[in-house]
Amino acid sequence: MSAGRTYWRVAGRRVAFRVDARAVAVGAALLAVCVCLAVLGLAVGELPLSLAEVWGALTGAGEDFTRTVVLEWRLPRVLAALVCGAALGASGAVFQSLTRNPLASPDILGFSAGAYTGALIVIIVLGGGYLAVAAGALVGGLAAAALVSLLAFRGGMQGFRLIVVGIAVSAMLSSLNTWLTLTADLETAIVAAVWGAGSLNGTTWQQAGAGSVLILVLLGIALLLARPLRQLELGDDAAQALGVHVTRTRLLLMLVSVALIAVVTAAAGPIAFVALAAPQLARRVARSPGVSIPVSALMGAALLAASDFAALTAFPAMLPVGTVTVVFGGAYLLWLLVREARRRF
């Protein structure tokens, strides 16, 4: 037990486990922040609405046009921002925990670029719909993960080597994505370029609904694997002694994490840096010894919802949310690199 921390022991007939009181409090605070951001996202826009009007639209008591604005135009976007942010935060938490490196995230390792490549091939070459794009993103992300893992494996999987190889693969895939966009016809290239910036603009219920269901299922699986993930942080030998099937659990965690990134990429395009920043910010706020999947997911939801709100209101023109996350995430990455360099040297 860590000094200065409070744990609650929850026991049942068959199981008993400890709950970190501070992590619960931080999670509750982040959930409240997400609710506030959701309300702001529903109320603020070219047509400002009061809280009473928003509530009336949600309960079916408002005017027809107000209900259309809230339920058809704004609510899918707000829901997508929260759910996609949670997916990015959870995916980043898994990768950073598996590699024991705060720089490990799907966008740094090239998995997001691979998912983008798979989705682009479907959009440009095959011309498929959302489900086909989601399948292409999943195949591309898994292929990138397999390639990076294969190139980085040298008698084991070291976090630093995995990151270096991932950066190289990401650069190559980014070049391929640029070539695919340039060789497409003009209309398709414009759609692919706008979508490739990471945008929630024009999100429909088809995208938000289907994506949310898939993400919630994957998040549930990730939460079920949270305990084995913490045991893997102790080392493969210790985890195996505790009854964890190391290889199978690691592969399943990577599959779930890549699938989360693929669904987000299919729904909103590649959104950078949320998966990198959310787990570390969550760990620092919760002051936890390791990376927590639930708190990281809530932090990711809050970060993406706040970034999307800023993209809508803080600039003269409406920007893709990926542009905002790149600006703030790039500054965070620079700070993290300087901090890691000072700690190592």
Is 107 within 8 Å of 145 (Cβ atoms)?
Answer: no
- Cα-Cα-Cα-Cα torsion 308, 313, 318, 319, nearest 10 degrees, comes to -40
Q: Nearest to residue 76, comparing CAs of 206, 199, 195?
A: 206
Question: What is the radius of gyration, based on Cα positions, of the chain?
Answer: 20
**Which of the pair, 165 or 21, is modelled with greater confidence?**
165
Q: What is the pLDDT of residues 40-61, one digit of tens each?
A: 999 988 888 989 999 988 888 8
CA distance 16 to 118: 43
From the number of C-beta atoms within 10 Å of its C-beta (0-12, 13-18, 19+), residue 154 rates as: exposed
How do residues 143-164 score in pLDDT, each as one tens digit?
998 898 888 877 655 667 788 8
Packing angle, helices 293-313 and 75-99, rounded to 10: 140
pLDDT attached to residue 123: 85
Q: By mean pLDDT, which of 79-93, 105-119, 158-172 is the weakest?
A: 158-172
Beta-strand (E) ranges in 225-341? none
Query: Residue 66 corresponds to which tokens in the numbers above?
Result: 């107000």
DSSP readout, 227-244? HHHHHHTT-HHHHHHTT-
What are 98's two structure tokens? Answer: 């598996």
Model confidence over 173-228: pLDDT tens digits?
A: 999 999 988 888 888 888 788 778 888 887 888 878 888 999 999 999 999 998 88
Give the up-direction half-sphere exposure of residue 305: CA atoms within 13 A in the CB hemisphere: 29
Unique residue bearing structure tokens 């719909």: 129
> Looking at per-residue confidence, does 264 or 17 come out higher?
264
CA-to-CA distance for 269 and 292, rounded, in angstroms?
A: 25
Query: Model-level pTM?
Result: 0.88
Task: Please choose, from the candidates 214, 181, 176, the residue with its C-alpha nearest in 3D space to the C-alpha of residue 197.
Answer: 181
17 compared with 226, residue with greater pLDDT: 226
Nearest to 212 by CA among 301, 126, 286: 301
In angstroms, the CA 229 to CA 244 distance is 9
Q: Tens digits of per-residue pLDDT, 229-286? A: 888 877 777 878 878 888 888 889 988 998 999 889 888 888 988 998 899 899 888 8
